[in-house]
Structure 1
């Protein structure tokens, strides 16, 4: 149980680390358009994201997928930018009947990209042969998922407070939040490109 708690905490701390805030920003961008009433959709998106992360962690773990660190670091801000831009373009449009297929596909793909960001960190904190690392991988993944759920829950709470107590419309909340996220990651992307 102590090993479980150790890997769970490592993952938790890795997700909520303010120094590597891009993961937090992505979760904010993902959750901003949703409310508590739409928790099932949001939970499904988090599941798609988790599957993408887990698949790439396993592939990386077994040496099937190897990617340079700087490429991973440049792709993560791009996922935030795309998600925030998507929020702006679909703001105020009805999602009834659209399903979650296209959004789910992109979230799965973004989970793969973010999983690449976790892979080197996970490899650096585990020791032993491959079979000894499988259980810690799942323990680590559970920690990542728990941190994601807590962060998304916080976004939903802030969204509820802002919309119900400060009377900011959902549309305006999405507009302000997504614009802020774009403003934060755009200079980072420009710096990477240049």
Structure 2
């Protein structure tokens, strides 16, 4: 297996596993307001998030950015709570024809991606060891994370489709329940990180 394939798999399975539940919950909150027919908007959001975390992941892995891991572990659940708060505030509103509403979540996802990228970097630095030029590894890892995220959001959209169609749930109720659950998990995670 090539170096690219190895790090692609590592990136994919780093995001697509239950140990990365904080990032999974963030993706759940990010996707909560959208239905399967809006998959393009969701892909744009996930890609914005990936661009953000790719920047800080590269900078931290290459040693250009120093940070306190404890602060990042506190900030990650805060990004989830803020995303859920935005969802709850906008639940039931029709935002399909408001261009500003299109741009704001993408910008927010990119900014929150900057925080999550620092969270990814400690894991990647452990994998790389003393690698002097990890450019290929960084690229492959980021592509793997993006593929894992796209699979996760596809599953979330499919679950939403089933609940909204089969169970005939109201879209507003779906957003409220999913965002409320994600906020609850994030609040517990935040309290754990603050008290540890």
Q: How far does residue 78 in structure 1 lie from its aligned partner after superposition?
A: 0.8
- Which consecutive residues of structure 1, in runs of 5 or more, have no partner in the other structure? none
For residues 99-144 of structure 1, the C-alpha deviation after alignment (integer angstroms, 9 at most, x for no partner) is: 322212111111101100111111111145432x100110011110
Gap change, CA 1:129 and 1:191, over 3 Å in 2: closer
Report the 3-state secondary structure (helix = DSSP H, G, I; strand = E; otherwise coil) of the residue aligned with 2:66: coil
In 2: Cα distance, 1:142 partner to 1:97 partner? 31
- Say whether 1:153 aligns with 2:144: no
Residue in 2 that maps onto 1:107: 109
1:25-64 aligned at under 5 Å gives the runs: 25-64=25-64
In 1: Cα distance, 2:193 partner to 2:131 partner? 36
For residues 46-91 of structure 1, the C-alpha deviation after alignment (integer angstroms, 9 at most, x for no partner) is: 1111110111112112222111111111111111111111111001
Report the 3-state secondary structure (helix = DSSP H, G, I; strand = E; otherwise coil) of the residue aligned with 2:91: coil
- Say whether 1:17 aligns with 2:21: no
Report the 3-state secondary structure (helix = DSSP H, G, I; strand = E; otherwise coil) of the residue aligned with 2:135: helix
Residue in 2 that maps onto 1:78: 78
- Say whether 1:118 aligns with 2:113: no
In 2: Cα distance, 1:128 partner to 1:184 partner? 36
Report the 3-state secondary structure (helix = DSSP H, G, I; strand = E; otherwise coil) of the residue aligned with 1:130: coil
Report the 3-state secondary structure (helix = DSSP H, G, I; strand = E; otherwise coil) of the residue aligned with 1:21: helix
TM-align CA RMSD: 1.4
Residue in 2 that maps onto 1:188: 189
Residue in 2 that maps onto 1:138: 139
In 2: Cα distance, 1:174 partner to 1:193 partner? 28
Task: Verify the 8 A CA contact 2:76 2:115 in the aligned structure 1.
Answer: yes
